[in-house]
Amino acid sequence: MITLATPVTEAAVRALKVGDEVAITGTLFTGRDAVHKYLHDGGQLPAGVSLRGGFLYHCGPVVIKDQQGNWRCVAAGPTTSIREEPYQWQIIRDLGLRGIIGKGGMGDKTLAACKDYGCVYLHAVGGAAQVLAECIHKVPNVYFMEQFGAPEAIWEFEVAGFPAVVTMDAHGNSLHKEVFAASQAELARNL
């Protein structure tokens, strides 16, 4: 298990390879469909959100307010990342992201951007909303709540020991491409 603390350096990210298990500590920002389209269309991140050296988590959490009025995250697994494929490369290039956390993997444009700009794709276990929510110790802020609704908002999470696996690295390798090719060949033998 490799520990990554935000902000991470380009060198730390380039040292990672497909199959590495990591534990993330520090700040994560969520962003999914609405945020990606908004940024792609020229929208600006709100003051207080910086992705430079950080991680963007494809996640639409369940967050409720406790009796003291603080946000408490009760479920926070990853959402399917491939929907952001048209936009992700540009966000990596322009906003200095070092990691994307999601599920299901992404395509060639994102893989190329990971290589060109020093970024990795980290796969969290889809559906594991409780295990992952337990790693979120604080929810300091939420942005775009009114505009995009709770699942699509940018949530700021303070996390410790958040588990994920590198499935696309900064060297052009993708576990998703490997598994697809191998499974396609095996299926052909079984038809």
State the residues that interact with another protein by CB under 8 A: 19, 21, 34, 59-62, 64, 74-77, 79-80, 82, 103-105, 123, 125-131, 133-134, 148-152, 163, 165, 167, 175-176, 178-180, 182-184, 186-187, 190-191
Q: Which is nearer to another protein, 53 or 59 (CB)?
A: 59
Smallest gap from residue 190 Cβ to another protein (A):
5
Smallest gap from residue 80 Cβ to another protein (A):
4
Q: Which is nearer to another protein, 112 or 179 (CB)?
A: 179
The SS3 assignment for 149 reads: coil
Residue 36 bears catalytic tag? yes
Annotated catalytic residue: which of 36, 58, 123, 176? 36
Q: Which is nearer to another protein, 91 or 135 (CB)?
A: 135
Smallest gap from residue 26 Cβ to another protein (A):
20
Smallest gap from residue 178 Cβ to another protein (A):
8
Q: Which is nearer to another protein, 53 or 103 (CB)?
A: 103
d(CA 140, CA 14): 30
Q: DSSP labels for 81-118? A: SGGGHHHHHHHHHHH---EEEEBS---HHHHHHHHHHT
The SS3 assignment for 191 reads: coil
d(CA 155, CA 56): 10
Query: Amino acid identity of 189?
Result: R
Provide the CA 128 distance to its chain's centre, in angstroms.
15
Q: 42 burial class (0-12, 13-18, 19+ CB within 10 angstroms)?
A: exposed
Give the catalytic positions in this structure: 36
